[in-house]
Structure 1
């Protein structure tokens, strides 16, 4: 990754930043940091602003532009435009956020336009091709993306040692890869620190009652929230709070109505940042039930850990979720293990519900891990190092 100079940075991202998704959040934090260092930053997106994201959601100091596109299902194809041509022939350093077939193609065209332009790929996640023709297309896209990552860009940035290893095993040279875990914004980090100071009084409890689980994220099929709802009755937890919205919400609400006592599973919908942190303050465990490598980091884990709420997720050889949480390492002396299979989920939660001392250790370890590994000061330092 090149150091931003007078020509600044251009970022290509599918969704309009900052949004609620991890990719948009990363693009937002990069742009904010570069802009603060007096670098000209422009973020180009394929999608226009979403009406579901309030304008005051996160402060934006950089320029944003939406490229005209035509949609073929979920694939967005940029149309010829002055903005598109200007972006492709500009001399500014280019950061392209993957996965996205159209953005991969634009990075190839940008390289053809200039052989010496600094171009970086941000590899956020691997994809898991499903069975059938659609899965074949995904597999072809990923094969092409990995081949291009191995030879085309100046560097490939990714978010965890797990993904670094997976990229190397897929043929990307180690010297091209830069490790840059995600971070939180400065204001959220301060709010979370205040929550942690208030939460510490709860850690002395000898009995966890009620034991509250929380899920935060989009309600889509690949998030596997139904897996958490089905595991809840035998998990030992008293309450399950589900924060977020999406196409699966009605189905999940119907499923929840038959799985627990009335009021035990609560759907909160979309919450503001302050409302989300308030909900985390009174939760005991964040659970992210997806086993898919689409879920490669989980910035919401950082939000929870900064508040002293441990995060639980599945191990996956192409996902950094378990590495981010560090829960298995924190409880190594107890023999607790991250779930490997969906049937292990309720048991993994139940052990923490029945062992207040384990949960106390996990909560303290979560906050310490955030401070030592993911605090914004460390992220800023890594960003500067990766640009050297």
Structure 2
């Protein structure tokens, strides 16, 4: 089969969705498919690029002139899409959303000739605290609805998210659930040193409001025998550093910024507990949870209603707390600090679940079953 992935970005651009798309594409190549990806170049890159990566995936990056409310500004996307449809001649389009550029498909005759798999990674938060995003959503929703209606199937990453998503609930009969996945870990490099003694906590993610890292800092202030390595970059860095200063945590918190894959893997292996304190459904799944499980580490995570986090971080491999509750988060950290046996049990269970449920090969096989179904139905309809 000839599969064309349509996404926002692609590695080395950092991000959980980007990493998943690349790992899925690589697994599909290993399974014998021809695979290409049409994505945006990193913001500010004005020259299109075309390369074949180490896994044999054709990656076509369209110029991107910045981002508006997290959406790449790429007026030339449609032209590159038409050209790639003629050159690559895909049997199927695998469309990863949110991605405003995907709306161009609604006007494309070429796109109508092949089935679409719409991979629903997350809802757009219509009640976002960002006024521009909240005001712009009604217009976005019109195109979003048409995209869901046109797709042959929508793939959600968990049953919980599919049931909570208003756009998907209206089309529940055409929703399939396939979790995200990842392959084997890279060779570890050298991790940054933890800033203090005691229980080594690790948190990883974009430094944004919904990640709940400020809540984690407040919890840490009540657990003196623990230190935190916080990995990630974003516009919330200055605010978090100010919180560290205000809480007097300078000796126990290190904001490490972005790490390469080798150093990040070393950090996972060196930590005692992984923390995901996210606040709402903007955290739809949590690819970082899979990284922690793969490393055999216990997890403390927010139990977010309507999110896949509670599926991945289950009672067998994680302690879950109410989002935004610093006291409950501190209690969970103390519980794990007091019991090495509990940490070992949760970490081992998580590793086994990753091997059984979230290895990229198993996820790719499940996606193949979705492909076969939609291609058969599309041919019958045609």
TM-score range for the pair, normalised by the shorter chain length = 0.7 to 0.9
Cα contact 2:230–2:255 (8 A) shared by 1: yes
2:31 to 19, 33, 37: 37
2:351 to 367, 370, 378: 367
Cα contact 2:316–2:349 (8 A) shared by 1: no
Q: State the secondary structure of the residue aligned to 1:234.
A: coil
1:63 to 40, 58, 61: 58
Alignment of 1:1-388 (within 5 A): 5=1, 8-48=2-42, 59-71=54-66, 73-74=68-69, 75-80=71-76, 82-87=79-84, 91-92=89-90, 93-103=92-102, 105-110=103-108, 112-129=109-126, 130-131=128-129, 132-142=131-141, 144-146=143-145, 148-149=147-148, 151-167=149-165, 170-188=168-186, 210-235=198-223, 237-326=225-314, 328-330=315-317, 337-343=320-326, 344-388=328-372
Q: Which moved more, 1:351-360 or 1:115-124?
A: 351-360
**Equivalent-residue separation in structure 2 for 1:240 and 1:87 (angstroms):** 46
**Equivalent-residue separation in structure 2 for 1:19 and 1:76 (angstroms):** 13
1:275 Cα offset (Å): 1.5
Shift >6 Å, 4+ stretches: none
Cα contact 1:219–1:245 (8 A) shared by 2: yes
The root-mean-square deviation of aligned C-alpha atoms, in Å, is 2.9
1:224 Cα offset (Å): 2.6
Q: Which moved more, 1:289-298 or 1:339-348?
A: 339-348
Per the normalisation by structure 2, the TM-score is 0.81
**Equivalent-residue separation in structure 2 for 1:142 and 1:118 (angstroms):** 22
Q: State the secondary structure of the residue aligned to 1:309.
A: coil
CA-to-aligned-CA distance 1:111-158 (integer Å, 9 cap, x gap): x44534111111001232325453131354246424531x21111112
Count of equivalent residues: 350
CA-to-aligned-CA distance 1:216-242 (integer Å, 9 cap, x gap): 122223323222112211135421111
Structure 1's unaligned 5+ residue stretches are 52-57, 193-208
CA-to-aligned-CA distance 1:211-266 (integer Å, 9 cap, x gap): 11111122223323222112211135421111122222233223213324543112
**Equivalent-residue separation in structure 2 for 1:299 and 1:320 (angstroms):** 10
CA-to-aligned-CA distance 1:304-339 (integer Å, 9 cap, x gap): 11111122221223321121111x3457xxxx6532
Q: State the secondary structure of the residue aligned to 1:9.
A: strand
1:50 Cα offset (Å): 8.9
**Equivalent-residue separation in structure 2 for 1:172 and 1:289 (angstroms):** 30
Structure 2's unaligned 5+ residue stretches are 46-52, 189-196, 373-382
Cα contact 1:18–1:27 (8 A) shared by 2: no
1:17–1:60: structure 2 CA closer, same or farther, 3 Å change rule? farther
**Equivalent-residue separation in structure 1 for 2:254 and 2:55 (angstroms):** 32
Q: State the secondary structure of the residue aligned to 1:186.
A: coil
Q: Which moved more, 1:294-303 or 1:166-175?
A: 166-175
CA-to-aligned-CA distance 1:64-115 (integer Å, 9 cap, x gap): 2222455563433432474233246674111111112232x123223x4453
Cα contact 1:312–1:322 (8 A) shared by 2: no
